Amino acid sequence: MIKLHNIEKVYRTDTIETLALNGISLDIEKGEFLSVMGPSGCGKSTLLNIMGLLDEPSSGAITIAGEKIDRMSDQQLAHFRNKRLGFIFQSYHLINDLHVLDNVELPLLYRKVNAKERRRLATQALEKVGLSNRLKHFPTQLSGGQKQRVAIARAIVGEPEIILADEPTGNLDSAMGNEIMDILLQLNSRDKTTIVMVTHDEVMAKKTHRLVRLFDGTQVQ
Ligand code: ADP
Ligand code: ADP
């Protein structure tokens, strides 16, 4: 589902060059749930951003869902991201002055889905994450775990094949973290969604199919 071949990423400023990824090759199968661990600064977010087509590698090749990425224009990339990928972040990235339903509808608005259908799909996604009773709440009125469930609903509302999650349980206590992890495990097993998750939590990582460890931009496991 995601193939990375010899990915290198160099960040250059006037004075410093940082080799953030040093030749990463990975083959992630459809339906796989992969976790990525490693110390701060080892390249985890860079790797996830490259898989999510938010950042370009300095060299190497990426194929996602059979499509070679380097042949796409920026517009095609944006469209591909919106249609095929779902993103979840540690800090939720919700829009505070939109209520829960409107937050979840956002990816569909971009796709020009009509209002009635947007509402139907967003309501359905919120049912999946067990948040049907908070549709008109605003993010500031929700607990951390509830905010992350809204973010998951937003990520899955367009039925993406792949979910990329950057420390989705990083801001949550262990009870809420486990709830979020259970939702991700269910999306993976029931809907066959491929998931790549960056985490600092060995317990969460053990629940996934495979663990990749990075150190200084190199895969060590
Ligand atoms: P992690 O997510 O594992 O903490 P990152 O992928 O964020 O690691 O960063 C990997 C390395 O690249 C670090 O050394 C970091 O300082 C560097 N880096 C990340 N983003 C940038 C950037 N925009 N410009 C320069 N260096 C960066
Ligand atoms: P937790 O203890 O799980 O962190 P909170 O104590 O923050 O949860 O909230 C408990 C419940 O009250 C949540 O379900 C949340 O939706 C609701 N809630 C919290 N703050 C507000 C608010 N300002 N307005 C309306 N509902 C709120």
**Residue 72 gets which letter from DSSP?**
-
CB 15 less than 6 A from any atom of ligand 1 = no
Ligand 2 mutation pick, 135, 146, 178, max ligand atoms within 8 A of CB: 146
Q: What is the pTM of this model?
A: 0.88
What confidence category does residue 70 fall into, taking pLDDT thresholds of 50, 70 and 90? confident
| ipTM value | 0.67
Mean pLDDT, to the nearest integer, of 165-194? 94
What confidence category does residue 114 fall into, taking pLDDT thresholds of 50, 70 and 90? very high
**Atom 15 (ligand 2): residue with closest C-alpha?**
142
Name the architecture of domain 31-53+72-219.
3-Layer(aba) Sandwich (3.40)
Strands 2-12 and 33-37, by their bridges, are unpaired
Task: Please determine, for residue 22, whether its predicted confidence score (pLDDT) is greater than 90.
Answer: yes
Mean pLDDT, to the nearest integer, of 182-209? 96
Task: Please determine, for residue 68, whether its predicted confidence score (pLDDT) is greater than 90.
Answer: no
Beta-carbon contacts of 111 under 8 Å, excluding residues fewer than 6 positions away, are 82, 83, 158
Domains of the chain, by residue range, sit at: 31-53+72-219
- ∠ Cα 136 120 98 (to 5°): 30
What confidence category does residue 71 fall into, taking pLDDT thresholds of 50, 70 and 90? confident
Task: Please determine, for residue 21, whether its predicted confidence score (pLDDT) is greater than 90.
Answer: yes
What confidence category does residue 97 fall into, taking pLDDT thresholds of 50, 70 and 90? very high
User: What separation in Å is there between the alpha carbon of 126 and the centre of ligand 1?
Assistant: 34
Q: What is the pLDDT of residue 198?
A: 97
User: What separation in Å is there between the alpha carbon of 19 and the centre of ligand 1?
Assistant: 9
Residues 83 and 159: beta-carbon distance below 8 Å: no
**Residue 11 gets which letter from DSSP?**
E
Partners of residue 163 on adjacent β-strands: 86, 195
Ligand number nearest to the C-alpha of 48 = 1
Task: Please determine, for residue 72, whether its predicted confidence score (pLDDT) is greater than 90.
Answer: no
